[in-house]
Structure 1
Amino acid sequence: MQSPSRVSVIDDDESVRVASSSLLRSLGWEVSLYPSAESFFDADSLDGLACVITDLNMPGMSGLQLQQRLRAVKPDLPVMFITAFASDAARRQAIDGGAVCFLGKPVDGTAVADCLERIRASFLKD
């Protein structure tokens, strides 16, 4: 079985979405971009999705609320947080909720690549 190759990026900052898309495409991933968690749930299919990368603080549904909703419908889908508000409490809540990575902005592209490689490796061992 081939591992999923699509990543959805959810961030209310367009410049972050564009930069994330460029990085992910350069790493060989297909990318879908959304300005909010609500737009992601309205438009995206979770089938074939390898990972969700989300901001923590967004208007409407927060990244942590997004994570909780994803856990209810697709508990094995990896979630990665990239945020400018990397408090210890938020990090703990995200990791306790199953996040595979919790990275601060400005994000290090190598850290994103490493996290995605761990996700890809977990698909290959299943």
Structure 2
Amino acid sequence: MPSVPTIAVVDDDQAIREAMDDLIKNFGYQSRLFSCAEEFLDFEPRAEIDCMLVDVQMPGLTGLELLAELNRRGDGPPMIFVTSYDDERTRNAALNGGAFAFLRKPVDVSTLIGCLEAAFSQRP
């Protein structure tokens, strides 16, 4: 039996993390919550993360800097940005940097779930 996908939520807003946690669990997935990029980078069993939902603007490392660091390390799961900070330059930087998707808050639930399922299908 395949394991249930685990989604990391990296967002400095506790209310957003809790809302995403509820949404993820309602769709039958597991979640791990992180309040900043550094907290995620300190998380050792990153291989158990199947996909990430990441905010762009956070104190410390931004979402784009987290993406660059995971690319440098070569151990990042698919990353979906979910952000209210949506300008063309940021979107292009994220997608050109290897982000799986770039979604605007408030996110459409069916779009988000579709992106997650597509990301899971690309995992080895």
What TM-score does the superposition give when structure 1 sets the normalisation length?
Answer: 0.90
CA 1:9–1:54: 2 relative to 1, 3 Å: same
Distance (Å, rounded) in 2 between the aligned partners of 1:97 and 1:4: 27
Q: Which residue does the alignment assign to 2:83? A: 83
Q: Which residue does the alignment assign to 2:6? A: 6
Q: Which runs of 5+ in 2 are unaligned?
A: none
Q: CA deviation at 1:53?
A: 1.0
Q: Which runs of 5+ in 1 are unaligned?
A: none
**Aligned Cα root-mean-square deviation (Å):** 1.8
Q: CA deviation at 1:4?
A: 6.5
Which contiguous aligned blocks of 4+ residues in structure 1 show a shift greater than 3 angstroms? 1-4
Distance (Å, rounded) in 1 between the aligned partners of 2:72 and 2:4: 20
Describe how 1:34-49 pairs up with structure 2 within 5 A.
34-49=34-49
CA 1:84–1:21: 2 relative to 1, 3 Å: same
Identical amino acids, percent of aligned pairs: 33
What TM-score does the superposition give when structure 2 sets the normalisation length?
Answer: 0.91
Q: CA deviation at 1:109?
A: 1.1
Q: CA deviation at 1:71?
A: 1.1
Contact 2:51 2:120 in 1 (8 A): no
Q: Which residue does the alignment assign to 1:68? A: 68
Contact 2:10 2:54 in 1 (8 A): yes
Q: CA deviation at 1:39?
A: 1.1
Q: Which residue does the alignment assign to 1:27? A: 27
Aligned length: 124
Contact 1:4 1:49 in 2 (8 A): no
CA 1:3–1:91: 2 relative to 1, 3 Å: farther
Distance (Å, rounded) in 1 between the aligned partners of 2:57 and 2:25: 24
